[in-house]
Amino acid sequence: MSNAAFILNGAAFEGAVTVTEAGLRGMITLRGDLGSEAMEKAVKASVGVALPKQRKIKSGKRGAVAWMSPDELLLLVDYDQADMLVAKMKSILAEEHHLVVNVSDARSMFTLSGAGAREVLAKGAPVDLSHSVFGKGAIRRSRIGQIAAAFWTLDGEELEVVCFRSVGAFMYDWLSTAAAKGSLPEYL
């Protein structure tokens, strides 16, 4: 087996804001009945937090869990732990109709940090990113430019973006262009 590698080897762009490739991150897609006890138990056992509400992301010491749709969650965990946690959740959910997949290698992740991070994202996403609407712990699946992406903020400042790995390099280029020096409004 070859070593796991991320698409841009952690490239970083310093512009009006800093765009960084976040590196290897364990991601698990979990689908099923979000109202069931077993689901709650599976998430608690793997990430250690309760289920997030609609369009919210919750984080704990062992990772984070994000609401993706009424029957889908995305679990963010350590890269090395993902396979083990998939097996663990499979056994907890064995009695239920469910789907658990390790999608870590199918995704790329970026972080936007700096005062204008929201402005950069707002150039390409048809989403209200103001603090009052998109605050701490908010997640949104939408598009950035032409490509599908999900983005969230855990602390209300730094934004994290996840997209398909196949378009990861494009996403980095897009974000870097959008974050060009001097391209943000002056009131920031």
DSSP assignment of 41-85 equals HHHHHHTSSPPP-TTBEEEETTEEEEEEETTEEEEEE-GGGHHHH
- Does residue 130 bind other proteins (CB under 8 A)? no
CB-nearer residue toward other proteins: 70 or 182 = 70
Q: How many residues of this chain interact with other proteins, rule: CB under 8 A?
A: 13
Of the two residues 72 and 173, which places its CB atom closer to other proteins in the complex?
A: 72
User: Residue 9 or residue 146: which is nearer to other proteins going by CB?
Assistant: 146
Nearest approach, Cβ of residue 129 and other proteins (Å): 13
Amino acid at 135: G
> How would you class 27 by CB atoms within 10 Å of its CB: exposed for 0-12, middle for 13-18, buried for 19 or more?
buried
From 140, 154, 163, 174, residue interacting with other proteins (rule: CB under 8 A): 140
Q: What are the distances in angstroms from CA 144 to CA 124, 172, 184, 186?
A: 5, 11, 17, 23
> Which position among 9, 70, 132, 181 is part of the footprint of other proteins (CB under 8 A)?
70
User: Per CB under 8 A, which of residues 149..188 are in contact with other proteins?
Assistant: none
Rounded-to-integer distance, Cα 179 and Cα 153, Å: 18
Name the β-bridge partners of 141. Answer: 150
Pairwise CA distance, residues 145 & 41, whole Å: 37
Q: Which of 57, 73, 120, 127 binds other proteins (CB under 8 A)?
A: 127
Contact flag: residue 142 with other proteins (CB under 8 A): yes
CA distance 43 to 30: 9
User: Site mask, other proteins, residues 30-69, x = CB under 8 A?
Assistant: ------------------------xx------------xx
To other proteins, the closest distance from the beta carbon of 8 in angstroms equals 23
Per the document, the length of the chain is 188
Dist. CA 186–CA 176, nearest whole Å:
19
Nearest approach, Cβ of residue 126 and other proteins (Å): 5
- The contact set with other proteins (CB under 8 A) reads 54-55, 68-70, 72, 126-127, 140-143, 148
